[in-house]
Every structure is written in C-alpha cells, then in structure tokens.
Amino acid sequence: MESLKANVELARMAARLGFYGCAETFMGMALGDANRLQRHDLKRGIFRIRNKLRPLAGR
C-alpha cells in the first residue's frame, strides 16, 4: 500500500513540474500495485487521473 501511495504522489509531483511522460509511468506502476492488491476502487481513481494526464503527455 505504501508503494501505491508513493507512486501516486510521485506522479502528481511529476505532472506539476511538467514531466507528463514520467507521471504516466508512475501512474502505471500505481495501477499495477492496485491490481496486485485487488483494490478496484483505487484502480478507478488511478484511471481517472491517468486519463486526464494522457492529453498533456501528447499521446
């Protein structure tokens, strides 16, 4: 759970600084953690944030 929180926080910081590609990578790692923990509520939130970052990353 700590790894999940850390990855989400790193993604937020990276996005604030303009490193959208890095932010998406951290979100992907957080999604993997949520998958492993089988937390579907967290997965929904991560997908919501990740989808907001995608247009900013140029993908």
Whether residue 1 is predicted with pLDDT greater than 80 in this model: the reply is: no
Which is nearest to 27 in space by CA: 56, 52, 50? 50
pLDDT of residue 59: 56
CA distance 25 to 28: 5
pLDDT tens-place string over residues 5-44: 899 899 989 988 999 889 889 999 999 998 898 988 888 8
Domain range holding 44?
2-57
pTM: predicted TM-score of the whole model, two decimal places: 0.77
Q: How many domains are contained in the chain?
A: 1
